[in-house]
Homo-oligomer: A and B are copies of this chain.
Amino acid sequence: MMSLLLRDLKLSVRAGGGALIGVLFFMTVVAVIPFGVGPDLNLLSRIGPAIVWIGALLAALLGLDRLFQTERDDGSLDLILMQEHPLVLTVLVKCVAHWVANSLPLVVASPLLGLFMNMSEVAIGAVAVTLLVGTPALTFIGAVGAAVAVSLPRGGLLVSILVLPLAIPVLIFGVSASYAAVEDPAPFMPPFLILLAITMFFAVLGPLGAALALRNASD
């Protein structure tokens, strides 16, 4: 399992430059919004957490749809399916590798973007923490889509549509926890704990669903 993690990390560093494209896209998104909203710094800092979260969601989508497709194309998927390691675990490890290569850099870059958006220190910290806790859920949800994409002779976007709606709760609680950290009346912990719960829920459901789809897709 460790070897699979290492291989996937190596691959994403060698082949995709995955991390960088995600971060750059993320930065582009964040760079463009101020043009839309105008130079109103107050407003910017108000919508900052939301924008950073939306950017993270979109950046996580890039490349996620090919999580299993490259494996199928060169025949590795067959061998992976045949092994006795529980398939759920294999999927989980692949998700973790993808998260480390693609989403973790976003979490690390988010404070920088927070500064661009004129967010307060507390807000910046809250966004980074909620991203750290919430983005894995996005990866797990996407994995189900990627697994379904493999079974289609022609995968692709179709999958993101099926899966993206499931990401909405993650976004809602991530954003509301970040706001709660800044605005006094609302407490930070409840939405944050719900976010944590969602991530744990999808950490189980995602790999299970993906494994189920992969088993039924093989031909």
Contacts and interface: CB of A to CB of B under 8 A. Distances in A.
Interface of A is mostly: helix
Given A32-B53, A37-B47, A165-B28, A16 B171 contact: no
Interface string A23-46: 011011101110111100001001
Interface stretch (A55-63, A82-90, A194-202, A206-214): A55-63
Contact of A157 (B25, B165, B167, B179): B25
Interface in A50-71: 50-51, 53-54, 57-58, 61-63, 65
B171 A35 contact: yes
Interface of A: 14-18, 20-22, 24-25, 27-29, 31-33, 35-38, 43, 46-51, 53-54, 57-58, 61-63, 65, 73, 153-161, 164-165, 167-168, 171-172, 175-176, 179
